[in-house]
Structure 1
Amino acid sequence: MSSGRAKLMDMLMRPNRSKLKGYQKQPPPKRWNIVRGDTVQVIDKKHPELSEGLFARTPYLYLASYPGSSSPAAFDPNTPAVVDQHCCHPPSGHSNRPGRPPPTSGKQGRVQVVIREKMRVIVENVNLAPRRIPADPMRGTKAETVMAERSIHYSNVNLVDPVTGFPTKVTHSYLEDGTKVRISKRSGAIIPKPQVWKKPQLNNLIASEDSDTTNAADVWAVTYEGRTSKWEGMRQELLQTLETDKGQKLGGDDILQ
């Protein structure tokens, strides 16, 4: 048996081929808090984009202004500290050992696509990976490699609080006029839905301001012109010829009698 046939039989005889995939086991959420156009941030601790966002916006600070202190210093933006641009993780005490990145250190971006069937989202300029574009001789383009966004699981991103700028969970509430809104659990601010997600109202669909009711004369007007087909005309001629022949035959029989 050839190697290709053996691989094919191995794939067909796998015992786990009928099992559901990861995104198929987990039921989809009943309420989608993230829609297209929202600003989200990566919160998955194992995701490679986690330790890039906060360092790109605000570098970690070595709190070296506490001589003789043996306890780890708390982060205080008002405390004078030494900035280390080469540090990618917050220090633990006065040692240079990298610590665990905080959950607010993910990369932020705007949601471009929400794939509800697979519970994944595509975020702009987040989770980039090289993508090979083949050459097209018909168009005269060469093959190239570009950086494109890959999808991220829905549970690995959170909405960004518009007040604090950090990821937050949301709850839903209603305004006085009955409008349903998203409320940030971190600051209590309203997270409005983006204008991209809303469908624009088309107000220019009316061509004229005249009445749409059709006049009675136009309703009862005869607009159909009956046309006989070629075969129908030949059929009528044949029937007329048969009737003529039959009449002549009956006339000849009367004369003979």
Structure 2
Amino acid sequence: MRLSFLMILAFLISVKVSAAPKSDKISINNLSMSYERGIGEGSFSAFNFYDYQYNRPMVFETQYNGTEVIFNLEDEQVVINDENGLLSILASTKIKGLNLENTSSEIKGNLSTFRAVSETKDVFLNNVGAHCKLITKPTNLRDVDYYLTNCLTDATINISKIDLSTQEKSLFRDVLIEALELEKSSDTSISELSLSINKHNYTLTLKVKASITAKVKVYGKVEYLEGSNKIHLTITKAKASFFNITNKVFEALKSKESEKLKVQRPHVYYSLE
């Protein structure tokens, strides 16, 4: 899931343009692009990214040198610094129908399809939608901590389908399969995912398909711990159809503990560092 719509959002929020921008506004309409080994091409209906303002359909070519993304738009170049190196792990990616907009009160977006491939990952997302209320007032609309704090307070995310390669290490997917005692198969997928967060209380529903298909619901609370750069969540109940699988979920999580993941039932801590 790390190569996902949220990765696109994190990239767009965290990058720094070559000159200090006067505007924090992002408004992208119908962007599609393909990218492979540092070279790509694409199009959009409108693209307003900080001080770059293009309000008509355009096609573009793009290059990535490991630290900068260079967009060639007709006679103009747009250079965006990828200071966190988020794109360096991608061998190829395809995006279709990306729309994204931020204001002082919300950030929302959707995309039709997203495919990302690296040496170890192969992720496909279909029909993604996200909406996040920005409750506190920002000092900087490009502050990633600000978005994490707010979006883990009040937000909705919907994804029609997630396909992950069998070799892909996905904590989320692997915990579900282990808790449900399913066998991982070549067509393992997650569908009809819906995450609703209201005042830190979350409800997660989804279908996971492996050897069989199971519908899962998880309830709890979630928050971002800014000082330690961790996501903290509690799991109060997890169900598969009519069966309570909370114990099995914690057993599966405990078996995946690492430097990034710590489990102290009912608490789960995941480091973003």
Larger radius of gyration: 1
Name the one with the larger strand percent.
2
Range class of TM-score, shorter chain: under 0.3
Comparing both chains, which one has the higher relative contact order based on Cα–Cα distances under 8 Å and sequence gaps of 6 or more? 1
Name the one with the larger helix percent.
1
Relative to the length of structure 1, the TM-score reads: 0.21
